[in-house]
Chains A and B, each alone.
Chain A
């Protein structure tokens, strides 16, 4: 893998491209799905992906409208354009689904993921970790004499990059939320 090749669509200056490269003809798309927050709705969506052999690169879900009991599911998936179109239609025809938007196809949108990165180090490495965290806009949310937990909210590639920077310094573990995304501009999808 060419470490210097920027993934198409990467908006930031990161020189790291640590995601698995896509196969020939495949594209990565971010889909936003509004659903009734009824029991089993997530299982339905996941079952559709596993049953039909579609990829899930990341998935986030939470109720976003408590009064209307609606949740937004954000799915990052990959496939050929025909497969992406199928996924779109298959999601759209599910009974608890209100609306599906292919944010990648629509165009301008923002994506963010939250990562928690635990690093264990002492001495010089501690200072280096702090310095890198500052450069990357990561916050310290937990600290002991020999560890940090950093919080970083950014595009997935930046979290990859930060984690890789921490690896030689004493990376212990990572928790990530997966991507949340919204289209740019004044228009909402519901």
Chain B
């Protein structure tokens, strides 16, 4: 083809560019909702069948679906929304993705360039509003720049610490013609985070491994974001050193729950053994985690006797909350490979005797059996419901999402994850309403797998309209609602902190979930008897379609163990008996 003809082939409208750029980026699915300012793009979507569009019921749903999709595949989730309310409704999901480092590309329509600033219909300063809740965002004012901007958006959101990005596209830019920039020709700019760790620091970490007598590997969501190789290397490191492993909420599955080194999740509702090991260790290896306040508890009493190494791709995570001795800036997978290589070169040494003594101590902590609860023959205990769900589904090709609250913590405690990308939850932002749309996003990516959303009734109601999406696209997501007719975690805090004054923390006027399911055109199951539970769960699993499972559970169950706000890891509450006056006035200020 002559040059001229080739150039001519690259001339197209902005709307055509959007669809072509997405296809060039390998995008298979877009979660979106049409509106005035994106109609040209929707027209192009209509004319093709490469990219599958999922029509959501609310733009917040689209963003959480994209998160579920991204978290379960490692690929960026793509969202398409209109201007004004379309974009503002997407803000919660973008903030959520920013906090949890989830790659997401949001394309938003904007009023035409000549109307920007005039308070036009459905105009909002989307770039201004989303600046603090994206990793970066762009307003495209020329059609010629549109394709390269979209390509750069994908580059930025997947490079370094992943996160959401937004491209705001005025309607006249979508209509006008320009030259398409193919992906390989698009400038990626100077954004290139460091992925390889500093050799000197890697060496220091190796020496820490060799000299540690009470070590702990504390892994986080960064291991999962780094890719399957990072999880594999973490497992190798744990297996070859014999060091115990704990993980944040976001990192569950990077190390298998059935693995011999597994201590369970750490933090506010983590296990006794994990938190005691964090407190008592002499060498802490923080791998792709960020010393969040849910993990550290009281900062000045956090793991007082340990040297700390921290691997993180984001330099601003280093020394933000906790001062570390060995900071290593780089990609978790790359740095773990560097560490393992150096350590093996030097003979794979550890302080075997010391580590053995450490394990004896940990075994003692494990014997406390911190996740025990008082069973009941009459009412379904939420922990029991999750134990049964776990037992009946653990060998299946299974993905789990959650909403936010007590049920989320119980799911993290009672369900085991053997692989990365199998557990999707809103960690940093704690967004109620995340789980249902996230489960839809996961199911879109894995149509033949079992996808369960462990929910609380209050969270679930926040975005329940997305059941319509599940039904429309025949996505057989299982909504496992632990219904205690309470905002359980709020209620628990009011009990511990506010003299049992339960201000607005119960779910009044709840719908009949079985009838609700029927109204949506899916299956509803209700269960309130422990004896019927297994059968009801089996019925849910056997049904080839979306299910809303209304599991009526004990109303006043509290989630233990718990590190009360403002307390240290070794001051955990293990059960009801210890809760009286557990949180001081300084702790009460914390969230």
Contact = CB atoms under 8 A, between A and B. Distances in A.
Contact of B127 (A40, A51, A82, A86): A40
A186 interface: no
B273 to A, nearest CB: 31
Interface string A40-82: 1001100100010000000000000000000000000000001
Contacts of A44: 131
A154 to B, nearest CB: 35
Interface of B: 127-128, 131-132, 135-136, 139, 156, 160-161, 189-191, 193, 314-316, 318-320, 323
Contact of A86 (B132, B189, B193, B320): B320
Nearest to B329: A89
Contact of B128 (A43, A89, A90, A98): A43
A95 interface: yes
Contacts of A92: 315-316
Contacts of A39: 139
Nearest to B165: A95
B191 A95 contact: yes
Contacts of A40: 127-128, 131, 139
A90 B127 contact: no
24 contacts: A36-B189, A40-B127, A40-B131, A40-B139, A43-B131, A47-B132, A82-B319, A85-B319, A86-B316, A86-B319, A89-B315, A89-B316, A89-B318, A92-B315, A93-B193, A93-B315, A93-B316, A94-B136, A95-B135, A95-B136, A95-B156, A95-B189, A95-B191, A98-B190
Interface of A: 36, 39-40, 43-44, 47, 51, 82, 85-86, 89-90, 92-96, 98
Contacts of B160: 93
Contacts of A51: 132
Going nearest first, the 8 A-B pairs with the smallest beta carbon separation are: A89-B316, A95-B136, A89-B315, A90-B316, A95-B191, A51-B132, A93-B316, A47-B132
Contacts of A90: 316
**Majority-rule SS of B interface residues:** loop
Nearest to A91: B316
Nearest to A82: B319
A98 B191 CA distance: 8
B136 A93 contact: no
B156 to A, nearest CB: 6
A98 B189 CA distance: 10
Given A89-B318, A90-B316, 10 more contacts: A40-B128, A44-B131, A47-B131, A82-B319, A86-B316, A89-B315, A89-B316, A93-B161, A95-B156, A95-B189
A89 B237 CA distance: 29
Contacts of B320: 86
Contacts of B319: 82, 85-86
Contacts of A94: 136
Nearest to A87: B316
Contacts of B314: 89, 93
A39 B136 CA distance: 12
Contacts of A43: 128, 131
Nearest to B127: A40
A36, A85, A93: residue with the most chain B Cβ atoms closer than 10 Å: A93
B124 to A, nearest CB: 15
A189 B191 CA distance: 17
A85 B318 CA distance: 10
Nearest to A85: B319
A41 to B, nearest CB: 10
A163 to B, nearest CB: 35
A40 B126 CA distance: 12
A141 B320 CA distance: 48
B144 to A, nearest CB: 16
A95 to B, nearest CB: 4
B286 to A, nearest CB: 16
Contacts of B161: 93
Nearest to B190: A98
A36 B136 CA distance: 13
Nearest to A90: B316
A95 B323 CA distance: 26
Contacts of A98: 190
A88 to B, nearest CB: 9
A86 B128 CA distance: 24
A82 B135 CA distance: 23
A40 B316 CA distance: 22
Nearest to B137: A40
A50 to B, nearest CB: 9
A44 B133 CA distance: 11
